[in-house]
Amino acid sequence: MSDPKIDGLELKPGFKGMSEDTGSDQTMFKGVHWGKAMMWIFLLSDTFIFSCFLISYMKGRGSTLVDWPNASQVFGLHVFGVEVPLLLIAIMTFVLITSSGTMALAVKYGYEKNRKMCGWLILATAVGGLIFVGMQAFEWSKLISEGVRPWENPFGAPQFGSFFFMITGFHGTHVSIGVIFLFIYAYKTFAGHYDDSKRGWFTSMKGDYVEIEILGLYWHFVDLVWVFIFAFFYLW
Partner 1 sequence: MSEIKEKEQSTTHKIGIYLWIWGLLFVLSFFSYMVDWYQFQGMLRWSLILVFMFAKAGLIMAFFMHLYWERYALVNVLLWPMTAIACFIFLMVAEFEYTVFTRLFYFVVGGQ
Stretch that binds partner 1, among 50-58, 141-149, 154-162, 165-173 (CB under 8 A): 50-58
Distance CA 54, CA 229 (A): 9
**Residues 128, 134, 140: CA angle, nearest 5 degrees:** 140
d(CA 138, CA 92): 11
Using CB under 8 A, pick the residue from 34, 38, 83, 94 that binds partner 1. 94
Distance from C-alpha of 119 to C-alpha of 210, rounded to nearest angstrom? 14
165 binds partner 1 (CB under 8 A): no
DSSP assignment of 95-164 equals: HHHHHHHHHHHHHHHHHTT-HHHHHHHHHHHHHHHHHHHHHHHHHHHHHHHTT--SS--TTS-THHHHHH
Residue 101 touches partner 1, criterion: CB under 8 A: yes
CB nearer partner 1, residue 18 or residue 144 = 18
Under rule CB under 8 A, residue 33 binds partner 1: no
Residue 15 beta carbon to partner 1: minimum distance, rounded to whole angstroms: 6
Span from 7-15, 145-153, 173-181, 196-204 in contact with partner 1 (CB under 8 A):
7-15
Cα(130)–Cα(139) distance, integer angstroms: 14
Calpha distance 114→134 (Å, rounded): 30
Any contact of residue 235 with partner 1 (CB under 8 A)? Answer: yes
Minimum CB distance to partner 1, residue 101 (Å): 4
Q: What's the CA gap between 160 and 70, in Å, rounded?
A: 10
Q: Which residues contact 149 (CB under 8 A, 6 or more apart)?
A: 161
**Binding mask 69-88 vs partner 1 (x if CB under 8 A, - otherwise)?**
---x------------xx--
- Choice from 68, 165, 190, 230 touching partner 1 (CB under 8 A): 230
Of positions 63, 67, 78, 196, contacts partner 1 by CB under 8 A: 63
Please identify which residue in 111, 140, 183, 190 interacts with partner 1, judged by CB under 8 A.
Answer: 111
How far lies 148's CA from each of 30, 69, 170, in Å?
50, 11, 17
Binding residues for partner 1 (CB under 8 A): 1-5, 11, 13-15, 17-18, 21-22, 28-32, 37, 40, 44, 47-48, 51, 54-55, 58-59, 61-63, 65, 72, 85-86, 90, 93-94, 97, 100-101, 103-105, 108, 111-112, 213, 216-217, 220-221, 223-224, 227-228, 230-232, 234-236
